[in-house]
Amino acid sequence: MLSPKLETALNKQINEEYYSSYLYLAMAAYLEDMNLDGCAHWMRMQALEEYQHGMKLFDYLVDRGSRVELQAIQAPPKEWNSPVAAFQASLEHEQYMTGNINALADLAIAEKDHATNNIMQWYIAEQVEEEASVDNILKKLAMMGDTGPGLFMMDRELKSRVEPAPQAAE
């Protein structure tokens, strides 16, 4: 059984992961509207991955005999100033999520909950990847140009992102 503090904090993180999924869906809708199918596809895949992040925590709470308590998901923004601004917002959001995960790992250590600290290590490694992948897109856009041909080439590249593999619960 989780401590009440950890149970509350992990339930809040489930909500953050589902908000992330919603945010990426909103970005996908924005990019679809601009006919950037590849960029929109990348965001759709990201939304699926965030859903899985939420479910992994959902399953973890169930496994620990704790109660999952779903909360209202905040509405994400609808518009960004440009496609590159959407990717920049994605990077900033992932940096925010990394802060949340680090705080959860700190709390798990403070509560002497080794199992929660262990699952947080998985999320910590995942956050390194998440930040790196969007940072890579932004760096390439800076190199190739974030409008016109550069954006067109990136759109083609992002079409190839594959669906995330299902995540097993810890």
* Interface of this chain with ligand FEO, residues 54 to 93, rule: CB under 6 A: none
Both tokens assigned to 118: 């262990």
Name which of 125 and 142 has its Cβ closer to ligand FEO: 125
Task: In the chain, count H helices and then E strands.
Answer: 5, 0
Q: Is 44 in the site for ligand FEO (CB under 6 A)?
A: no
Helix, strand and coil percent figures for the chain, each rounded to 5:
75, 0, 25
Q: Of the candidates 7, 94, 146, 155, which one interacts with ligand FEO according to CB under 6 A?
A: 94
Q: Of the candidates 7, 17, 113, 146, which one interacts with ligand FEO according to CB under 6 A?
A: 17
Q: Are 47 and 21 within 8 A, CB to CB? A: yes
Q: Is 116 in the site for ligand FEO (CB under 6 A)?
A: no
In whole angstroms, what is the distance from residue 96 CA to residue 98 CA? Answer: 5
Shortest reach from residue 49's CB to ligand FEO, in Å: 7
Shortest reach from residue 166's CB to ligand FEO, in Å: 15
Both tokens assigned to 8: 């509350």
Interface residue list for ligand FEO (CB under 6 A): 17, 20, 50, 53, 94, 97, 130
